[in-house]
A and B are shown apart, each in its own frame.
Chain A
Amino acid sequence: MPTYDAVVIGAGPAGMSGAHTIGQAGLQVALVDAGPRLGGQFHRHPPAAFHATRPQALHHGWRHFCAFRDRLADLPGVTHLPDHHVWSVEQADGLITVRAVTDLRRPVGVTIRGRALLIATGGYDRQLPFPGWDLPGVLTAGAAQALLKGNLVLAGRRVVVAGSGPFLLPVAAGLGRAGATVVGVYEAARVSRFLRHATTLAQNAGKLVEAARHHATLLRHRIPMHSGWAVVAAHGDTHLAAVTVARLDRAGNPVPGTRRRVPCDTLAIGYGFTPQTELLVQLGCATRVDVDGSVVADVDAGQRTNVPSVYAAGEVTGIGGAALSEVEGVIAGLAIRAGVGKPGRVPRRLLSRRTALRRFAAAMHDVYRVPAGWVGWLTPETIVCRCEEVPAERVRAAVEQDGATQPRTGKLLTRAGMGWCQGRVCAHAVSTLITHFGGRPASPADLATWANRPIAQPVPLRLLADAAPDLSAPQP
């Protein structure tokens, strides 16, 4: 088995640019990815068997992606390993061991070794619970996008798009273009807050053009945009049939008298994103809480974590979008090159571009904040942990009756966050809820305990046994 100069985990914008930068110096790189094709979530695209001759109709930056993909394919040192689901990462004696499974139908174990590691595992939609969010027909905004971009399946006929953040615009625009009736976009944030960040916005003209184009698509398809509104409940017997929307006050509480019912068959919802940090936590990398409340890798100017030879780029260092991810991937790649004596000077314009994009992301996070009043949308019966079907009242009882003041204790007492998804979906909400019932805000430590997942993917026991040290040998 070869030992690669570097292993890159995640083949989205950050991982692709990182692998490309490292490969350009003639180094051997394994680009390990769970997806079937390069591109990650942002550049998700249909399989070759669809023979789509105009994929750019659904993909922002398609030509850029294709050029990138071709440049990567031209580098003989870069080995792309698709359908590889990493479940563990270890470091010992200066060598990194990545364990993955491939072929989920009949999982086969794969071990990949490298001298450096770049973690570029991206993120997924952040969710807030509300009554009825477990009904079939309620999807994440990312799911609607994945169905459309990866499978050419329309999420629904009558769709409500809701939540918060700039991602809602391309989701609604894509659905509209592809033939869905998008009943409305309900953006919880007040977009007037943008005025505070006029200078930062002016320095990122490209992003403004992109937003304007999405708004034009919404207009063309007569999709109404409601700023300062949220979906506070979903209704239906066995399937979603309607949602209740309400205008929010500044604290995120529904304004009395503004609730109204909107019939729909599909809801696509998300409140920003959660970075996928468990592999960093496995390695003991330091984390911090970013401006949007996400637990992210704490990296230096060269995208280095505090663990030697381990780097992070893209959404795992702070949610900031594809352009920032790509820049960070290049900087991490250059740092990895420099670490083995190859040319790795980072051009000054790349550093200032990263600064500008990071500043833009911070402005976005300030505008699109999670509405604090969401806790008031819950009823006692509202499921907050989907896997273990834990209702809000059980979390309240754990705090108020059983004295669970720490999210970890609350988790152990209620089983919230202990199901299949290992708290990926509910970590933010339930840890916030536990501290809310306890009468204090969630601290960075409260949030960080929920990012710990020692086994990151389902693996058959036989693979765990293969990876274990030989216990039959005499112990010292």
Chain B
Amino acid sequence: MNPPPEPWRLVHADPDPPFEIIVDDQPVRAVPGQTIGAALWAAGVRSTRHTRGTGRGRGMFCGIGICFDCLMTVNDGPALRVCQIEARPGDVVRTGTM
């Protein structure tokens, strides 16, 4: 069992049990209340789409819903800003070209 991350210890957090979401067919842990974007960042997933023009990787930039750089496909719906979307158990998230 890994020790809790330092920010949790700092604020004495005791989150509800984590669950899994699926990101490009790989499981990623999320804590209830966390956004999909934050769960991905915590798991080290930083490039979340490829650009339409040059195909370069892009990831979360503003973190507050302004920039749209973190657009991803969630459960096959229209692209969403994952920094704004709270993760739910079983979410299927995909990186795409957009």
- Residues of A at the B interface (CB closer than 8 Å) are 34, 36, 41, 46-55, 57-58, 104-106, 124-125, 134-140, 142-148, 150-155, 177-179, 238-239, 386-389, 419-421, 424-425
Contacts and interface: CB of A to CB of B under 8 A. Distances in A.
Given A50-B33, A139-B61, A178-B6, A147 B16 contact: no
Contacts of A148: 7
A48 B47 CA distance: 29
Contacts of B51: 389
A138 B47 CA distance: 11
Interface string B54-79: 10111111111111110100110100
Contact of A134 (B56, B60, B81): B56
19 contacts: A34-B65, A41-B64, A47-B86, A49-B15, A50-B11, A54-B10, A55-B11, A105-B77, A124-B66, A136-B47, A137-B46, A145-B63, A148-B7, A152-B13, A153-B41, A238-B57, A239-B46, A387-B67, A425-B67
A146 B67 contact: no
Given A49-B16, A153-B41, A419-B68, A147 B63 contact: yes
Given A136-B46, A136-B57, A147-B38, 11 more contacts: A34-B65, A50-B33, A53-B11, A53-B12, A134-B56, A143-B62, A152-B8, A154-B6, A239-B47, A421-B68, A424-B67
B42 A153 contact: yes
B25 interface: no
B42 to A, nearest CB: 4
B31 interface: yes
A144 B60 CA distance: 10
Given A151-B38, A386-B69, A49 B32 contact: yes
B56 to A, nearest CB: 7
Interface residues of B, number: 51
B5 A154 contact: yes
A104 B85 contact: yes
Contacts of A155: 41
Contacts of A424: 66-67
A383 to B, nearest CB: 9
Q: Which 3 residue pairs are nearest across A and B when measured between Cβ atoms?
A: A143-B63, A179-B6, A47-B33
B32 to A, nearest CB: 4
Contact of B7 (A134, A152, A389): A152
Contacts of B47: 136, 238-239
A151 B80 CA distance: 18
